Chains A and B, each alone.
Chain A
Amino acid sequence: MSQITRRDLIKIFGASAVATSGLLGASKEAYAKSSAHIVIVGGGIGGASFAKYMRLANADVKITMIEPHPQYTFCPGSNEILSGHETLENLTVNYNTLKSRFNVDVIQDVATEINYEGHQVNTLHNGKISYDKLVVSPGPDFDFHFVDGYSAELAEGDFPHAWKAGPQTAKLKQQIDSMPQGGVLLISSPRMPYRCPPAPYERASFVANMLKETNPTAKILILDSKDNYVFQNHFEHYWKQNHQFGQEGSRIEWIPAKKGGVVTKLDATNKIVTTTSGEQIKADVINIIPEEKAGRFAIENGLALGSNWVPYEPKTFASKVHPDVYVIGDMVDAPMPKTGYVASNQAKVVAAAINDLLAGREPGTPFITNNCVAMAAEDYGMTITATFRYTGGIKDKGFSTQVRTSAITDNPYTNRIRAEVAKNWQRTFRKDMFS
């Protein structure tokens, strides 16, 4: 782009085309400034991946990221904080490398409103920011209304969901560590879709492994709003071997939805939950993982078109609302699990598509992978490799899916290698975006 001046374009295409039609999908303003301005809302995994890979694809565009927080704490790996194998500090990164190495202008601010026709996004403190292309990646918001009596305030207080790594994770750890001998941790696992589907069970596993040493008579009760879950065979395999799962005295009990696992009410004062079957259950620590929906910024700006999740054009992840606005990450209504890995790969698709469009090329067809690694323990890992191939059709939201899951094995070496691969993934995944 940088070599082509406005005058060159006028020479090639004629003044009227440049002046009126927003040629190549960019605004008139873009040509005046000689390079497109790409603005990102949200500096999580999706936004950070996009910023870096957009820069790798194009040295000339101006990239601005609007993110309210000075740091980002990774959710992948945060269950291991509960068992003392990981720390919040180790999972927390800043935006220095994106700024210095990848020349991204990171504005610490809150984006409030999109003016679609004016190509502007409004912020709380920096006023209106003009864009040629806008990438929206705010992640999900939590939806507390499915459990009567639960709220964002309680989550910040004595009932942390810890589904966003940070102070709530530390609070939950402190609560679990302080449980009386023989105490009960209750985990309420939500319906699909939610961020990182295996994580409630991974959480139960890591905590159970710790309790086995520190509080061996304590129990974990998983009340599930589903009847089955990903990696169920792996987790049950591990729990049978290590926590007498399915037997009298099991350290972990799992109640599916059809057997009354859906939590409908929380009595915060007495630490009692009520399930669909009307049962009342008291526990020492109650960890309700709330249902989710697209982030408030996306909902309030109409990107979800009245639903809870954001529809998109499968080839480029352009929004249905305006072709210069792109949507990625957990908030997107894609036939893909809500994982950081998927968000980062959607981000790369959008970076490539925007780069192609700016150069006047037809974007390529996306092929998105999800390598999901989970652990039941530091020496027991499991993997899913899924691929999502763009079909050009409308069936299955535009993608054909193939999935391969690791097989159950009693070979301890294989289980350990898988766990090491999982840890390696976490470490290198963090580095991929933030260093």
Chain B
Amino acid sequence: MNKIALLGALTLGATLSLSATASEHGHAAAKVEPWTLQHWDETAAAMPKGDAMRGSELHKNSMCMTCHGENGVAPSRNAPSLAGNTPEFIYKTLLDYRSGLRNEGDGKSSVMIAATQPMSNQHMADLAAFYAQQVIPAPAAMASVDPQIDRLVRKGDASRMITPCASCHGAHGEGNEVTPALAGQTAHYFVRTMHAYKNGHRNNDINEGMSQFTHDLTDAEIDALAQYYASLNRKP
């Protein structure tokens, strides 16, 4: 080991202050262009054909299963279940994480943003095919549904310009193409997502197709909708 003799040289106030990289932990505004319907239609048309077998390998080897569960059924309330969701929704979500358009801030999206960086469009389509093939277990049905929530789901609320949830997400919450399935979804994740739309932290929806309906929902309604969808069976 060399002796290290250091000159106690005078430093003339060379105090170096580093600016904290606030965006690492704070909410960084997405620099990516939001979706237009036309752009999404073109993207969906160009979506590669997915291979569920390859998707299964990726799911296992790229740490996806750590949070989303062995068969796409989340073992924790923090991560969404992906089993049985629509391939278009999974594909678009992965694209949005890779581009940074989906970034709810406060570090919440950082793992997914990092995880999608090495993925090609083919990888994403493969994962989408794998998750679409998995089956979400039928949850225990609710004893009774609050008539107001039932009405919100099936009729919407014209006075607040809220479209019925079921008109896009399906009568059984089964989803439709790019609109995700909600039935059986982790309630905690559902609530978090709705608040992210409501407070503007999530803006990867096409033409604010989702967020506009959350602006006037109350916290109690969001909680009740989360419970409703968590206990809904996709195939009654």
Contact = CB atoms under 8 A, between A and B. Distances in A.
Q: Give the secondary structure class of B's interface.
A: loop
A85 B24 CA distance: 8
A84 B19 contact: yes
B6 A284 contact: yes
Contacts of A280: 3
A283 B4 contact: yes
B120 interface: no
B117 interface: yes
> Could you say which interface size class chain B belongs to?
20 to 34
A350 to B, nearest CB: 23
Given A180-B11, A424-B110, A279 B78 contact: no
A178 B16 contact: yes
A260 B1 contact: yes
- Per DSSP, chain A at the interface is mixed
B11 A178 contact: yes
B4 A219 contact: yes
B100 to A, nearest CB: 13
Interface in B1-37: 1, 3-11, 14-21, 24-25
Nearest to A277: B1
Interface residues of A, number: 42
Given A279-B3, A283-B4, A177 B15 contact: yes
Interface stretch (A12-20, A103-111, A319-327, A412-420): A412-420
Contacts of B75: none
Contact of A84 (B4, B14, B21, B118): B21
B78 A428 contact: yes
B97 to A, nearest CB: 12
A180 B14 CA distance: 7
Given A214-B16, A279-B1, A428-B78, A180 B9 contact: yes
Contacts of B107: 423-424, 427
A384 interface: no
B140 interface: no
A401 interface: no
Interface in B106-165: 106-107, 110-111, 113-115, 117-118
Most buried by B among A83, A280, A282, A424: A424
Contacts of B10: 180
B63 interface: yes
A419 B113 CA distance: 12
Given A260-B1, A424-B107, A424-B111, A90 B25 contact: yes
B112 to A, nearest CB: 9
A282 B5 contact: yes
A72 to B, nearest CB: 19
30 contacts: A84-B20, A84-B21, A85-B25, A87-B20, A178-B11, A178-B14, A178-B16, A180-B10, A180-B11, A181-B11, A184-B4, A210-B18, A253-B1, A260-B1, A271-B8, A279-B3, A378-B24, A411-B118, A413-B118, A417-B114, A419-B114, A420-B110, A420-B111, A420-B113, A420-B114, A423-B107, A424-B107, A424-B110, A427-B106, A428-B78
